[in-house]
Amino acid sequence: MSEFYDLIVIGAGSAGLTAAGGVAMFGLKVALIEAGEMGGECLNTGCVPSKALLAAAARAQDVRDGARFGISASPTVAWADVRAHVDGAIATIAPHDAQERFEKMGIEVIRTRAHFLDGKTLAVGNRRLTAPRIVIATGSKPAIPAIEGLADVPYLTNETVFALDRLPDHLLILGGGAVGIEMAQAFRRLGAAVTVIAPRPPLARDDREAAELVLARLRDEGVAFETGRKAIRVAGQVEGITVTLADGHAITGSHLLVATGRSANVADLDLAAACVEADDDGIRVDARRRTTNPRIYAIGDCRAGPRLTHVAGYEGSLVALDIALGLPGQVDWRALPHVLYTDPELAQIGLTEADAREKYGDIDVTREDFADNDRAVTEGDDGGFMKLIRHRRKVVGVTIVGAHAGELLLPWTQIITGKATAFALGSAIVAYPSRSEIAKAAAFQAYAPTVFGTWPKRWAALVARTRRWRA
């Protein structure tokens, strides 16, 4: 006998928590299934610990850089205390994602695995759950490349690097994307030797001029780069790991971090039983985040598309309104932000200059340097610039590289989308994590009593009854 819900959500990361919480706030019956840690990758092994580690590393670098302000000192890094800071950040944020919080919202949280029996039924432990709408939000896992010998060495990923019991002597990093570059600077500033190994130029998807400023800073701080050649073999054990490149050059370090991308975490769901299709990039979805079975949605890292925490939250909100109120919305990536949290930060919203030229041909680019910004000059941190990219006088992209660049993106969200009300700000895609999220939170809270008021709840109940009857 199946137990009935208005919505079942699989996965309690950023996407799943937003979807489940949003639908529950309309008074509907929701089950949330999670076999791992509440909060998913972002809280436990992703955004939160990585940004906490970067913050600790920045303090160490501030001490080294003090001489130019007339203050001389040398940092002493206590790895155990750095770990305590990282763990403390996770523990402080964890209550926002805790099981108890969502149970107080009326959601049944089930801590086990689930797989599909058919298009509306899930096996959850020894129970059968059914719902007219199901959301898959199972996230992603590290993508491990097929390199000879890699499986035989004790390599690290983002799931294990923050649990190290000592600071590496020499950290080798496979991958030149955001994770690899952020960790390269963090560990270098904390005192480890660091070598980044990548077949392509690092930060290849970002504005090249902005990316080169970031990479130049890392080189100045002592990060070594081995690029343009593939890693073909890995060997070694705890005492040391050697990576051999295609030209025969070998690099040996004390630890190896694999940061070569992510893959959708969908292997155990039995998607075929629900007529849900997936490929190497994840579950196939349309603009409303519906899968090839329109009763089932896929949001966050498990589906094909951008893999960012703020995107996951945005999609969770989108499908919550679709499911609860029958208000279909489509994803809008025109003002999609992303931030590289290095020093300097590299922040992008909308199209880069290169992408805009490829798409439109006719664009104009306005540039302002932080060297001409008095606040930046007085703080002694005036490197970097802002590029404003327009097509026919309409802003289509903004690139910022410099101190706190991510915090400067927020107004451009509304300018690019043409939505400049407080209500629109409450549903904007704001880069996570950033202090400017506080503006979105305030705007959301201002309208929450209206959005989740009596009449919307009555409408949600009517939509739910209609779906129950159809089911």
Tens of pLDDT, residue by residue over 390-399, are 999 899 999 9
The CATH code for residues 3-142+263-325 is: 3.50.50.60
Most confident of 82-86, 371-375, 441-445: 82-86
Q: What is the pLDDT of residue 439?
A: 78
pLDDT interval class at 471 (50, 70, 90):
low
Q: What is the pLDDT of residue 467?
A: 83
**CA–CA separation, 41 and 160 (whole Å):** 12
Is the Cβ–Cβ distance between 283 and 265 less than 8 Å? no
Is the Cβ–Cβ distance between 389 and 397 less than 8 Å? yes
Taking each helix axis from N to C end, the angle separating 47-64 and 79-93, rounded to the nearest 10 degrees, works out to 140
Residue 428 has pLDDT above 90, yes or no: no
Q: What is the mean pLDDT of the segment spanning 414-439?
A: 83
pLDDT in tens, 100-116: 999 999 999 999 999 99
**CA–CA separation, 32 and 9 (whole Å):** 5
CATH 3.30.390.30 residue spans of the chain: 337-435
pLDDT in tens, 371-396: 999 999 999 999 999 999 999 989 99
Residue 239 has pLDDT above 80, yes or no: no
Helix, coil or strand: residue 165 = coil
Q: What is the pLDDT of residue 223?
A: 98
User: Which residues make Cβ contacts (< 8 Å) with residue 46, sequence separation at least 6?
Assistant: 40, 158, 309
Backbone angles phi, psi at 47, to 5 degrees: -55, -50
Q: What is the mean pLDDT of the segment spanning 41-64?
A: 96
**CA–CA separation, 404 and 435 (whole Å):** 10
**CA–CA separation, 396 and 407 (whole Å):** 18
CATH 1.20.1250.20 fits 150-261, yes or no: no
The CATH code for residues 337-435 is: 3.30.390.30
Residue 421 has pLDDT above 80, yes or no: no
Per DSSP bridges, beta strands 193-198 and 224-227 are parallel
Q: Which residue has the higher pLDDT, 421 or 330?
A: 330
pLDDT in tens, 14-29: 999 999 999 999 999 9
CATH 3.50.50.60 residue spans of the chain: 3-142+263-325, 150-261
User: Which of the 8 DSSP states describes residue 414?
Assistant: H
Work out the mean pLDDT of the chain and round it to a whole number.
94
Per DSSP bridges, beta strands 30-33 and 108-110 are parallel
